[in-house]
Chain A
Amino acid sequence: MSLATTEQHGAKAHSDGGWDDTSRVPVQTRSERFTSVDPAEFPAVTGLEVDWKLTPVAQLRDLIDGDLDGSGYDLAPQLAEGGTIEWIPRADPRVGSAGSPEDKASANAWSSFDTALAITITGDAPVALGFDRSGFGSAPKAAHTVITAEANSTGHIVLRSTGAANVVENVEIVVEDGAHLTVVSLQEWDDDAHHLASHFAQVGRDATLTHIVVTLGGRVVRVNPSLHLSGEGSDGAMYGLYFADAGQHLEQRVYLHHQAANTKGRVNYKGALQGAGARTVWVGDVLIGREASGTDSYEQNRNLVLSEGTRADSIPNLEIETGDILGAGHASATGRFDDEQLFYLQARGISEAEARRLVVIGFLAEIVQKIGDPALEEYLQGRIESELSGAGS
């Protein structure tokens, strides 16, 4: 249908900015975005593209266009029964089981890795696995991870990243029918680290995935999780927590795709910004597809601005292609401290500094409490406190 405005009442025909020319209309539906494993098939990244315009592209050239070292890296797994951990070749059928790159950097990583880390959860008993990744080094690097929760298994996986890094990676997550998986991606990189990550997840019939992104450390960290509720009755929760200090750029582009009927999705990202040049970006795309009748979906992003000179971008998008849903909503808010909360706490004798600490910890606690690992929750509480006091990275 053309909505072009024709010439009338002596006025010139409006050009509509050329939008009536269908060849120039950009991709409107999130699921129709171009994907390829070959970086050459993506046009050069200028920094003006919708998915790059809020990112400091100039600092990431080597990851987007450069040669990447695709070898394995040091890994300190905390082993448990009921799972397997192995390095697999590119040809392994698990590679590509959950998705395909949507941007040039992701495709660059995909075409560059030599060996992929494969984590598989099997059996009936719950499995908890923690990985400390610290051996990336500062040379540009590609990495690939495939996490598979086999049918009816239950797993809790923590990928904790520390140290120096200049890495672009893809993480594939397959939750087979009836499985229940939690994946926590915890970024605690050194101050000068660059990290671009794309996570692709498929959630099968009656399966659940809780995906949590926690980013505290790194110069530029961009984690883009795409979660496809592809099985009927599947459940996807996408949580995020970030704390940006002076000079940090922390970005997350979240995509939740309700593909099958009777799926439930919850997206909740919360961030705090403190210090000159602290920058966060959150883009949340939710797509409820034609077949996704009975969908129950809600996404929200909240940012707490703790000082002058910070910037938080928050862009929720909701597309609904079927009228037969239970509910869908989205919310976004970015604000300063609530002075009434401070007054209330101070009126009970609590000092201003302590009152601020309580309010920030409380604000972020909603996400911390979703992690489902008491030791890690306590650890993160402590990390947030040190970020707040300016001691964190």
Chain B
Amino acid sequence: MSVLEVKDLHVSVETEQGTKQILKGVDLTVKQGEIHAIMGPNGSGKSTLAYSIAGHPKYHVESGSVLLDGAEVLTMSVDERARAGIFLAMQYPVEIPGVRMTDFLRTAKTAIDGEAPAIRSWIKEVNEAMKSLRMDKSFGERNVNEGFSGGEKKRHEILQLELLKPKFAVLDETDSGLDVDALKIVSEGVNRAHEANDLGVLLITHYTRILRYIKPGFVHVFVDGRIAEEGGPELAERLENEGYDRFLAPSEVA
């Protein structure tokens, strides 16, 4: 069984005001098949954790390590991490003009698997995955994320999750900006991928709303670059009722 371990991770970013520490020692272990929710107020470092695991060049790892089955992820390039089985569903997927969805999906699948998929079964698989995410077939002819609505972009992220079949997925606020119907569709996609591939999920969210549809076994509360509290699903319920106030210094509470 695969395991993703984050150990004492310290991460900073360069800002106009100088170097800013964001992650201040994060420890986290996710085993394949587990669903972990990472919750926390805005600015607590949740997205930084997601992008640091995926290898975004903006984030500078000061110390610590991220291990996938014992192998150091932090020395891998972004594409090596993806090929090793780590997937990041982005909060704001970027538009790529002139690159058609079908070409993109096939290129990504070929890169991940190390060989081109058999054409007929691939087309069938893509069409079925799009259908279950209520995406029209015409999406295949469109350019990657170009002119997609917010909800369409999120569905496209989950489509890739289902097709690329990673071992671990980091979902960065996949629920933000979705109406209830879209939230259900997207959550069903995550649950399908979880069941089909024994996917390990790191679900990053500000709100408890998505936890009605995706049931985490573990909940971590992120505050000021560290995990402040950990527990089971009951912790999410408590957050729903109480909010994040008790984790914040009095001066930070509006």
Query: Which residues of A are at the interface with B, using a C-beta cutoff of 8 A?
Result: 338-341, 343-352, 354-355, 358-359, 361-366
Contacts and interface: CB of A to CB of B under 8 A. Distances in A.
Given A340-B94, A348-B104, 14 more contacts: A338-B94, A343-B56, A343-B94, A344-B90, A347-B81, A347-B82, A347-B87, A349-B112, A350-B107, A351-B79, A352-B77, A358-B96, A359-B99, A363-B98
Nearest to B113: A349
Interface in B142-199: 143, 160, 164
A344 B96 contact: yes
Nearest to B93: A344
A194 to B, nearest CB: 32
20 contacts: A338-B94, A344-B94, A345-B96, A346-B77, A346-B79, A346-B82, A347-B82, A347-B90, A348-B104, A348-B112, A348-B160, A348-B164, A352-B79, A355-B79, A358-B99, A362-B97, A362-B99, A363-B97, A365-B99, A366-B97
What are the nearest 6 A-B pairs in CB distance? A362-B98, A365-B98, A346-B78, A349-B111, A349-B82, A348-B108
Contacts of A364: 98
A345 B79 CA distance: 8
A350 B79 CA distance: 6
B96 A343 contact: no
B87 to A, nearest CB: 8
Contacts of B60: none
A347 B79 CA distance: 5
Nearest to B111: A349
A120 B196 CA distance: 63
A351 B164 CA distance: 15
Nearest to B166: A349
Contacts of A366: 97-98
Contact of A361 (B57, B93, B94, B98): B98
A347 B78 contact: yes
Contact of B54 (A339, A345, A347): A347
Interface residues on B, range: 20 to 34
Nearest to A361: B98
Contacts of B111: 348-351, 354
Interface of B: 54-57, 77-79, 81-83, 87-88, 90, 93-94, 96-99, 103-104, 107-108, 111-112, 143, 160, 164
A123 B18 CA distance: 70
B172 to A, nearest CB: 11
B93 to A, nearest CB: 7
Contacts of B81: 347
A351 B103 CA distance: 15
A361 B83 CA distance: 23
Contact of B107 (A343, A354, A365): A354
Given A341-B94, A358-B96, A366-B98, A349 B143 contact: no
A351 B57 CA distance: 15
Nearest to B98: A362
Contacts of A346: 77-79, 82
Contacts of B87: 347
A362 B98 CA distance: 4
A345 B98 CA distance: 14
A352 B78 CA distance: 9
Contacts of B98: 361-366
B164 A349 contact: yes
Contact of A349 (B57, B97, B103, B108): B108
Contacts of B104: 345, 348, 358
Contact of A358 (B54, B56, B107): B107
A219 to B, nearest CB: 29
A359 B77 contact: no
Nearest to B97: A362
Contacts of B160: 348
A346 B104 CA distance: 11
Contacts of B94: 338, 340-341, 343-344
Contacts of A347: 54-55, 78-79, 81-82, 87-88, 90
B93 A348 contact: no
Nearest to A367: B98
A354 B99 CA distance: 12
Contacts of B96: 341, 344-345, 358-359, 362
Contact of B78 (A341, A343, A363, A365): A343
